[in-house]
């Protein structure tokens, strides 16, 4: 048994992240030597239902802006963070975030540092950020910045600038494909899939999910030699629930997302996507 000290604040943080009970969270942290990811795995192995979008629950404030260029072949998404919701809802703050996003799109900067070094009027983006900090009195920063290039890139902003999505597809943009891309982006915003499909899930995550499944199966009393086969079925369900193309399409549950895309245009699919939520 670990001698690590588990504070009430640690227990409460894990409870907020997972939705599990207070005592269960305390035991999970003790058994996991205070490591939060291990504690989450411990809760899952014990059959606890753990909240999927943990990062969104512990979000800082700010806004997310997603934009694409005129021919929809390149897009950017940024999270301009602030300390309070009051600032995040301020019109001047949102206007500033839009201006920074426009510069990111025009310059095709690839890192936050490159974006901050880009010209913005008579100064740089970084210098203008400092001016906003001095004016508003809160820490303001570009906390995340991602880009997507593809035959068609469709941006989407959800829930009052709280979530931004970029979807990259394999066929050139037209009205139908942009509509489909927006539908898929709304799905991504709502369901937060881990990857496009099973092939894009990291081997480390697959191994982690398989280990959790096997331990759950053995704990249920199943024979160890059966656990591997049953775990394969659990993994398939994990991929169906947590990757984009096999998910049930939220606008029509009779189809998967992949089937919906093919109904729009033969062979149409998603190559990549990025999703940024405030504070994630």
d(CA 108, CA 69): 10
Nearest residue to 103 via CA among 123, 81, 73: 123
Nearest residue to 201 via CA among 240, 156, 168: 240
Q: Please tell me the predicted confidence (pLDDT) of residue 51.
A: 52
Asked whether residue 124 is assigned to any structural domain, the reply reads yes
d(CA 182, CA 270): 12
Please answer whether residues 11 and 26 qualify as being in contact, where contact means their C-beta atoms are separated by less than 8 angstroms. Answer: yes
Same domain, 127 and 29: no
Asked whether residue 90 is assigned to any structural domain, the reply reads yes
Same domain, 138 and 158: yes
Same domain, 37 and 81: no
Same domain, 111 and 8: no
d(CA 247, CA 267): 17
Q: Please tell me the predicted confidence (pLDDT) of residue 2.
A: 45
Q: Could you tell me the pLDDT band of residue 1, with boundaries at 50, 70 and 90?
A: very low
- Report helix, strand or coil for 35: coil
Q: Please tell me the predicted confidence (pLDDT) of residue 262.
A: 97
For the cut 90, the answer to whether the pLDDT of residue 231 exceeds it is no
- What percent of the chain shows pLDDT beyond 90? 59
Asked whether residue 234 is assigned to any structural domain, the reply reads no
Asked whether residue 207 is assigned to any structural domain, the reply reads no
Asked whether residue 258 is assigned to any structural domain, the reply reads no
The two structure tokens encoding residue 64: 């997310």
Asked whether residue 169 is assigned to any structural domain, the reply reads yes
Among 139, 174, 209, the domain boundary falls at 174
Least confident of 57-66, 167-176, 243-252: 57-66
Q: Is residue 175 classed exposed, middle or buried when 0-12, 13-18 and 19+ CB atoms within 10 A define those classes? A: exposed
Alpha helices, H only, the chain: 8-18, 22-31, 36-45, 54-57, 85-88, 91-107, 112-117, 125-136, 175-191, 203-219, 224-242, 257-264
Least confident of 80-89, 97-106, 160-169, 212-221: 212-221
Please answer whether residues 157 and 64 qualify as being in contact, where contact means their C-beta atoms are separated by less than 8 angstroms. Answer: yes
Among 119, 149, 174, the domain boundary falls at 174
For the cut 70, the answer to whether the pLDDT of residue 100 exceeds it is yes
Q: How many domains, in total, are found in the chain?
A: 2
Say which residues have a Cβ less than 8 Å from residue 237's Cβ, sequence separation at least 6. none
d(CA 280, CA 78): 11
Q: Which residue has the higher pLDDT, 163 or 279?
A: 163
What are the tens digits of pLDDT across the range 5-54?
888 888 888 887 777 888 888 899 999 999 988 888 888 777 766 654 34
Same domain, 84 and 3: no
Asked whether residue 135 is assigned to any structural domain, the reply reads yes
| Domain range for 35 | 1-51
Same domain, 85 and 166: yes
CATH of the domain at 120: 3.30.479.20
């Amino acid at each position: 048994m670990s001698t690590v000290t588990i504070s009430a604040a640690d227990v409460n943080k894990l409870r907020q992240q997972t939705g599990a009970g207070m005592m269960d969270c305390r035991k999970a942290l003790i058994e996991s030597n205070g490591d939060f990811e291990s504690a989450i795995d411990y809760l899952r192995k014990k059959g606890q239902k753990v909240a999927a979008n943990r990062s969104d629950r512990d979000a800082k404030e700010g806004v997310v802006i997603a934009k694409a260029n005129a021919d929809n072949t390149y897009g950017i998404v940024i999270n301009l963070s602030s300390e309070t919701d009051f600032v995040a809802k301020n019109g001047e703050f949102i206007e500033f975030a839009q201006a920074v996003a426009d510069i990111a799109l025009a310059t095709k900067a690839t890192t936050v540092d490159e974006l901050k070094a880009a010209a913005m009027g008579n100064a740089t983006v970084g210098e203008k950020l400092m001016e906003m900090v001095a004016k508003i009195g809160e820490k303001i920063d570009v906390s995340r910045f991602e880009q997507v290039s593809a035959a068609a890139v469709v941006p989407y902003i959800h829930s009052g600038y709280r979530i931004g999505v970029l979807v990259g597809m394999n066929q050139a943009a037209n009205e139908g494909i942009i509509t489909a891309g927006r539908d898929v982006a709304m799905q991504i915003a709502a369901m937060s899939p881990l990857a496009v499909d099973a092939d894009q899930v990291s081997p480390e995550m697959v191994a982690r999910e398989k280990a959790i499944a096997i331990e759950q199966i053995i704990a249920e009393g199943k024979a160890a030699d059966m656990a591997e086969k049953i775990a394969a079925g659990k993994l398939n369900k994990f991929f169906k629930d947590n990757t984009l193309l096999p998910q049930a399409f939220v606008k029509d549950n009779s189809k998967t997302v992949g089937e919906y895309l093919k109904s729009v245009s033969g062979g149409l699919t998603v190559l990549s996507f990025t999703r940024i939520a405030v504070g994630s």
